[in-house]
Amino acid sequence: MIIGGRYGLSSKDTTPAMMISVYENLASDNPKKGFTVGIEDYVTNLSLPAKENVSILCKGTFEGKFYGLGSDGTVGANKNSIKIIGETTDKYCQAYFAYDSKKSGGFTASHLRFGDKQIRAPYLVTTPDFVACHVPAYIDQYDVLEGIKENGSFLLNSIWDVEETKKRLPDHMKKTLAQKNIKFYIINATKIAEEIGLGNRTNTIMQSAFFKIAYVIPCDLAVEQMKKMIVKSFGRKGEDVVNMNYKAVAAGGDITKVDIPAEWKDINADGFKVVRNREVPEFISSVADVMNSQNGEKLPVSTFDGREDGTFPNGTTKYEKRGVAVNVPEWIPENCIQCNQCAYVCPHAAIRPFLLTDDEVKNAPEGTTTIKGIGGTKEYQFRMQVSVLDCTGCGNCADVCPAKTKALEMKPLGSQMEEVDRWYYMDEKVGYKDEILPKEKTVKNSQFAQPLFEFSGACAGCGETPYIKALTQLFGERMLIANATGCSSIYGGSAPATPYCQSYKSNKGPAWANSLFEDNAEYGFGMAVGVEKMREKIALLLNEAKWSGEAAEAAKEWLDNMHVAEASEKASERLINAISGLNDDIAKEVLAKKHYLIKKYVWVFGGDGWAYDIGYGGVDHVIASGKDINIIVMDTEVYSNTGGQASKATPVGAVAKFAAAGMRTRKKDLGAMAMTYGYVYVAQVAMGASQNQYFKAIKEAEAYPGPSLIIAYAPCINHGLRAGMGKTQLEEKLAVECVYWANYRYNPLLEKEGKNPFTLDSKEPDWSKFQDFLNGEVRYTSLMKEFPEDAKVLFKLAEENAQWRYNYYKKLANM
Amino acid sequence: MIIGGRYGLSSKDTTPAMMISVYENLASDNPKKGFTVGIEDYVTNLSLPAKENVSILCKGTFEGKFYGLGSDGTVGANKNSIKIIGETTDKYCQAYFAYDSKKSGGFTASHLRFGDKQIRAPYLVTTPDFVACHVPAYIDQYDVLEGIKENGSFLLNSIWDVEETKKRLPDHMKKTLAQKNIKFYIINATKIAEEIGLGNRTNTIMQSAFFKIAYVIPCDLAVEQMKKMIVKSFGRKGEDVVNMNYKAVAAGGDITKVDIPAEWKDINADGFKVVRNREVPEFISSVADVMNSQNGEKLPVSTFDGREDGTFPNGTTKYEKRGVAVNVPEWIPENCIQCNQCAYVCPHAAIRPFLLTDDEVKNAPEGTTTIKGIGGTKEYQFRMQVSVLDCTGCGNCADVCPAKTKALEMKPLGSQMEEVDRWYYMDEKVGYKDEILPKEKTVKNSQFAQPLFEFSGACAGCGETPYIKALTQLFGERMLIANATGCSSIYGGSAPATPYCQSYKSNKGPAWANSLFEDNAEYGFGMAVGVEKMREKIALLLNEAKWSGEAAEAAKEWLDNMHVAEASEKASERLINAISGLNDDIAKEVLAKKHYLIKKYVWVFGGDGWAYDIGYGGVDHVIASGKDINIIVMDTEVYSNTGGQASKATPVGAVAKFAAAGMRTRKKDLGAMAMTYGYVYVAQVAMGASQNQYFKAIKEAEAYPGPSLIIAYAPCINHGLRAGMGKTQLEEKLAVECVYWANYRYNPLLEKEGKNPFTLDSKEPDWSKFQDFLNGEVRYTSLMKEFPEDAKVLFKLAEENAQWRYNYYKKLANM
């Protein structure tokens, strides 16, 4: 048997053909039964003892295909289903799990086979007996019935009743259902899950429905086994979760059979095609849509004519419009204080403030409400606009809203569909008036700038992406990014979609590339040295040039300002104009290097697995160099991308993979280590605790003429926030309040002025809240459940460590 | 042309066949002439423009072979010779340089060829026209005339006159000289070099003599060119050195031709064989001697019968008796205060105190003087004994002697040959009475213990080896060492010789192994975890055992003391005795693991290139683990083994390879970084500044039940000490006095007692001495010569950095 965990693909190693599915192995937790791993083994090692009274649906090998979301539990449920079948029958079993490379909310397909004969099929299920579609919207996005066998079964999670469902089905599906005599069942698992309290996790309901329809084993046995698995899977999450899933098992019986009208057989329908209401670039229709609908491997080589070097256009996530949110924020203008905090914290750049002229207000789609701008924007009308199809529905925006009465309320996606066109109007027609207020002055101002990182495939509520988004708003047009493999490389570049985009005004945006854990800091260092050398060469040429008049003056201006961000931009424009007409070798050589005229910002991105562990040697080497380079570490305290393995950033007491009995050593203090150089700018930040402190830190880091290291606390799905991923910003605040995490900045420039370089931004903590904080995250509470005695000791130690570290910082601050 | 630099072989990658010679390439500094690198290229790319009036000695290809010491400059002179020939004639040239793997004072052979035709000879010179032997003693150690052509020439550096020289020649050489009609010249280059002030650097004298004899180019031209090369090679070392070498060129004419008696032709002589006066183990005579005489590749496979796994016996350096010192210390008993400091600092363990009973005094070789022991040793006679053939003559022992009138005086080796037998008597018959005074109490006491690391191939005056030697005296019998590649791995294990040896009493000694830069800390970590697991298993077994009586009591004693060094040793002995007779599975299993009964000390060794740079990620990972493991970094502030490349340990202003214009960044503070964990014992030490502080540090590190990191300042030949390598201990003292280097200890155990864990052992510095210190080392003064303006700025910065760091330490000490 092959069963899978999660594996994220970086854009580097994703080819269209690979895109469709990634397989991987996971050692079974039941080795005594001969579950083994590996293509060869699964077909031979699963001879389970015969049992009696087992009904089976079909003779030969049964093939099932289940379409789901990365976050709805489909894969987990199917892993359990195949285990149940394997353990309660003497059947041979096989399971493959295919994913796209979205972090969560992405596409998954589970391919299950079982039967009485050895299964020799090391390929995906192409002729399913049974198809389940767990996501209603997929009927328009994927060819879910592709290859289904005659007389097979199709189970659809439908939010519509029978009649509405029939209407919504695309013609090609109707025809297949009728032609192949498919048994068609629907269940409103979305509604049931929400009612039970499971959110969008429809998995157990759909699993139960599968057992009812497929009847592989007697239903009573299936129910008993599903319950066992529920205890095993969710036991450590608490009794509530177990009970909700028990209810889901029961609700799985609530299926409705839909009769197929005979006339559907004669419908004149083309095959499957992605439906688009708006015009999209050729790349989107001929490459991206095809890949996204899991048909990438069918693309002929000729599709890539002109793209042979592997270059994909950037800024393409905006065409995905995934619509994966259950609820999205609705803006309530009368409550809004125009602080823009919601936009600042949005992990997906799906909520943005716009400033409209009167004309723009007039031309807006009907029903568009605005309010009068305040302060420097009072000449304009203000609107906070949500892109509801790009929103993932986490709710952090509404949660951070500081208005007396919240100006954002989470509403079902279906109720907000009018915002779709409104979004297009704002983004494309109204645009980003970031020239009205200087964006580098305040958090509020910065949000009028266009984010050059949008709609990534990161998890809903991701703690990392808001940090990146803000960086692109301030520096994006002149940014070079070296991105370590990990979550940030997966959501940063998942073929075919790229969230990094260009400014509508300048057509400039971040240049981004991904390298590995073990050399990413060095990779960025190479970029920095390369840019430096090119610019030194330009300076050399300009110093050699014997020009006069405007050319000479423009060259002087450039030389005087080459290291000053804004000024170098102006000087570069002037220089290009001044020398473009010259018939002069030096002018030609300078123009050939014109991309390097404007000062560049080199940023190195990565997580704690990279910066604290595997790539630390490189991080250290690069900061030691003294070169002007900026590093941001998104610290989730575990290897997030691979599923939460412990790193040296994992604190005492936290449960993580490889630290199942709680981490035993103190969290490494990466920042303190970097500070020992004395010439490295260092900051620890947590945006949710202080939006302004983060804002200051990135500006100081960028301005510092040497290496900078920012360590950003980032809550993550691996933490198991009991309050949910809609509270990641709040969690950051709580972490800083009890000094689970300390915010500080160390600026060597202050020392040159005779001041203390270290500023402790965290306030005197309320230690009484420390244990409460730990109790708010499953990575800690699960230790309490499984090893209560150890947990007591380790949690006390965790608090002592936090105090020890905080005292050290206080001493530094008073040095 | 292929010309070589230095390359050290680790014992790991040295096979007998490889032993004879290591070749490597060095890009020429004269690329415009088409000097290129690579076996293929050198034969084709050296068509230099024709010159007239050039005499040549021989038609066809001239082949020369030059035997020298690694430290006497032979290789450097020959590199210059071949460059001179290449640049002043139109000849094709080739040069190979072969080394053994001693750090310095090792064997070198230069193989030069030149001629009018392309040279197609990618192998060593086997039929030389000319042989030069730069080291008198080599006539007994190597077959220097092997393969010499008929009518060829032989130049010997002889410390004897013509008649004495004739007597000293082995018979097989006499016969060859006569049979092949060799022209035989001698010159007393040793005496001349010493008179001129060049110490043992006979290279320029011998080079000049070669040009005179070989007459490749007119002597005037040769002299002119040699002088040019001298300026190039030694210019940055100052005018004095240049002038001394000019004198050496002139002195090279001082050769004497020796007539060969015709009757030598008829001498009845066997071929070459290493001469031994004492019996040696079979391995030494049949393997080590053959390899050391550069005939390793002639050993048949059958020699390795019983050694197929590659295991070489340890403790074999003592059979080398290299006799490479020019001067060695003579003990002056009446001045001696019995402090043993000389023994503590000796890099080669070649001077040791012995305590003799009256009987032992009586049986000592004639003329053996002793003095009455003092304090706890007053029942014994005391003698400081030098092993003059193992001494490398650095003179640190005499330099550190604190007696009012020095108790050690450096005397020519020839005058001290009576000490040879005396050494054998002391070492083998009198032995090490370390039970008289507890060795862990004081530096003095520790020196009565047998060093289990002796006579390594390290450079004379090496700053690293005294640290290691002291460790083996305290912990050697129970030590496991993981050694990073670098100097310490080369002198720690140069096949066929191993300096790590066993105690005469216990037959136990350090277990040593070498891994690479990139994983040595992890390698040691594996050892530590392995030992820990084995001991945990033993504890588990003993807890399960249902023994009674002595076995039960012995088991309990072991369990109670398993983590206590000395106590575990006693308990282990008792346990083995108690259970050896039991017919019991547990007893058998415990006995099978008996090597793990005694607590082990795991030490990780390496240099700064390893610990600060390439292996730093691993060092950090291992100390972060919290495991009980000890790391010592021998910090020479450069990659020493590969010839002095800059590392992150290189301070501002120092000249090193890759930092030819002076290092620009501050030295990394590895210790401060490790201290941020709070649970790592950290010390910076410099034995020459405080012998006692180092002694304390290693004991504390060993006793600390977690990771320990000791960073030891180690002067190195790459520093270019103007006072010479006989002053390395003094240099450490000077470094600490001006706080170029700070000594401190950080002990987390103190914090648990409510004390400040950080102790600054360095005293308030005398900053006025800082620049003097820099001026005492060529790595700094050469910057002043080449980039005087930069040097001023950087030296000031170096002082400011030292102050900055010292102030930081002071603050830590007062926290």
Chain A contact present for B614, CB below 8 A:
yes
Peptide linkage before A496 cis (omega within 30 of 0): yes
pLDDT of residue B378: 95
Take residue A583 and report the two structure tokens written for it. Answer: 């018939």
Q: Count chain A–chain B contacts defined by CB atoms under 8 A.
A: 60
Q: How many CA atoms lie within 13 A of B270 on its CB side?
A: 4
Peptide linkage before B170 cis (omega within 30 of 0): no
- Looking at residue B304, what DSSP letter applies? G
Take residue B412 and report the two structure tokens written for it. Answer: 């020519």
pLDDT of residue A390: 96
Tell me which chain A residues have a C-beta less than 8 angstroms from the C-beta of B664: 626
Name which of A625, A648, A679 is nearest B624 (Cβ-Cβ).
A648
Tell me which chain A residues have a C-beta less than 8 angstroms from the C-beta of B614: 617
- A34 CA: distance to closest CA in chain B (Å): 29
Query: In chain A, whose CA is at the least distance from the CA of B610?
Result: A617
Provide the 10 A C-beta neighbour count for residue B512: 22
Chain A contact present for B799, CB below 8 A:
no
Rounded Cα distance, B506 and B605, in Å: 24
Chain A contact present for B583, CB below 8 A:
no
Chain B contact present for A677, CB below 8 A:
yes
Name which of B620, B669, B815 is nearest A616 (Cβ-Cβ).
B620
Asked whether B395 and B723 are in contact (CB, 8 A), the reply is no
Chain A contact present for B617, CB below 8 A:
yes
Query: In chain B, whose CA is at the least distance from the CA of A649?
Result: B624
pLDDT of residue B698: 97
Name which of A625, A676, A815 is nearest B811 (Cβ-Cβ).
A815
8 Å CB contact of B672 and A668? no
ipTM here: 0.84
- A699 CA: distance to closest CA in chain B (Å): 24
Chain B contact present for A658, CB below 8 A:
no
- A678 CA: distance to closest CA in chain B (Å): 9
Question: Residue A691: is its pLDDT beyond 50?
Answer: yes
Instruction: Provide CB contacts within 8 A for B520, sequence distance 6+.
Output: B482, B483, B484, B485, B604, B606, B610, B615, B618
Question: Residue A565: is its pLDDT beyond 90?
Answer: no
Tell me the pLDDT of chain A averaged across its residues. Answer: 88
Segment A429-435 mean pLDDT: 97
Neighbour order of strands in the sheet with B351-356: B351-356, B381-386, B371-372
Tell me which chain A residues have a C-beta less than 8 angstroms from the C-beta of B625: 665
pLDDT bucket at A8, cuts 50 / 70 / 90: very low
pLDDT bucket at A59, cuts 50 / 70 / 90: low
Query: In chain A, whose CA is at the least distance from the CA of B519?
Result: A617
Instruction: Provide CB contacts within 8 A for B140, sequence distance 6+.
Output: B170, B274, B275
The distance of Cα A82 from the centroid of its chain, to the nearest Å, equals 29
Query: In chain B, whose CA is at the least distance from the CA of A809?
Result: B676
Tell me which chain A residues have a C-beta less than 8 angstroms from the C-beta of B624: 648, 665, 668
- Looking at residue A57, what DSSP letter applies? S
8 Å CB contact of A676 and B679? no
Tell me which chain B residues have a C-beta less than 8 angstroms from the C-beta of A677: 666, 668-669
Mutate to test the interface with A, among B650, B677, B679, B804 (most CBs of A within 10 A): B677
Asked whether B93 and B68 are in contact (CB, 8 A), the reply is no
CA distances from A430 to A281, A320, A350, A383, A423 (A): 21, 21, 16, 11, 10
Query: In chain B, whose CA is at the least distance from the CA of A663?
Result: B625
Query: In chain A, whose CA is at the least distance from the CA of B518?
Result: A617
Task: Report H helices in B133-292.
Answer: 138-141, 162-168, 171-179, 189-196, 203-214, 219-234, 239-251, 282-283, 289-290
**For strand B758-760 and strand B327-331, is the pairing parallel, antiparallel, or unpaired?**
unpaired
Question: Residue A32: is its pLDDT beyond 50?
Answer: no
Chain B contact present for A664, CB below 8 A:
yes
Rounded Cα distance, A536 and A599, in Å: 12
Residues in chain B predicted with pLDDT less than 50, given as ranges, are 1-58
pLDDT of residue B59: 58
Q: If we measure between CA atoms, which residue out of B200, B710, B732, B795 comes closest to residue B462? A: B732
Query: In chain B, whose CA is at the least distance from the CA of A648?
Result: B624
8 Å CB contact of B672 and A676? yes
Rounded Cα distance, B531 and B358, in Å: 44
Chain B contact present for A448, CB below 8 A:
no
Chain A contact present for B394, CB below 8 A:
no
Chain B contact present for A811, CB below 8 A:
yes
Mutate to test the interface with B, among A616, A623, A673 (most CBs of B within 10 A): A673
Q: What is the Rg, in whole angstroms, of the alpha carbon atoms belonging to chain A?
A: 28
Asked whether A28 and A37 are in contact (CB, 8 A), the reply is yes
Q: If we measure between CA atoms, which residue out of B546, B488, B542 comes closest to residue B515? A: B488
pLDDT of residue B469: 98
pTM (predicted TM-score): 0.86
Take residue A764 and report the two structure tokens written for it. Answer: 């005197």
8 Å CB contact of A669 and B677? yes
Rounded Cα distance, A73 and B6, in Å: 62
Chain B contact present for A12, CB below 8 A:
no
Tell me which chain B residues have a C-beta less than 8 angstroms from the C-beta of A624: 648, 665, 668
8 Å CB contact of A672 and B676? yes
Segment A181-200 mean pLDDT: 91
Tell me which chain A residues have a C-beta less than 8 angstroms from the C-beta of B811: 815
Chain B contact present for A705, CB below 8 A:
no
Tens of pLDDT along B380-437?
999 999 999 999 999 999 999 999 999 999 999 989 999 999 999 999 999 999 999 9
Segment A311-322 mean pLDDT: 91
SS3 labels along A94-129: EEEEEECCCCCCCEEEEEEEEECCCCCCCCCCCCCC
Question: Residue A423: is its pLDDT beyond 60?
Answer: yes
Chain A contact present for B667, CB below 8 A:
no
8 Å CB contact of A673 and B673? yes
Name which of A669, A673, A678 is nearest B666 (Cβ-Cβ).
A678
Name which of B614, B617, B666 is nearest A616 (Cβ-Cβ).
B617
Asked whether A47 and A87 are in contact (CB, 8 A), the reply is no
Take residue A664 and report the two structure tokens written for it. Answer: 């035993």
Tell me which chain A residues have a C-beta less than 8 angstroms from the C-beta of B665: 624-626, 679
8 Å CB contact of A676 and B673? yes
pLDDT of residue A104: 66
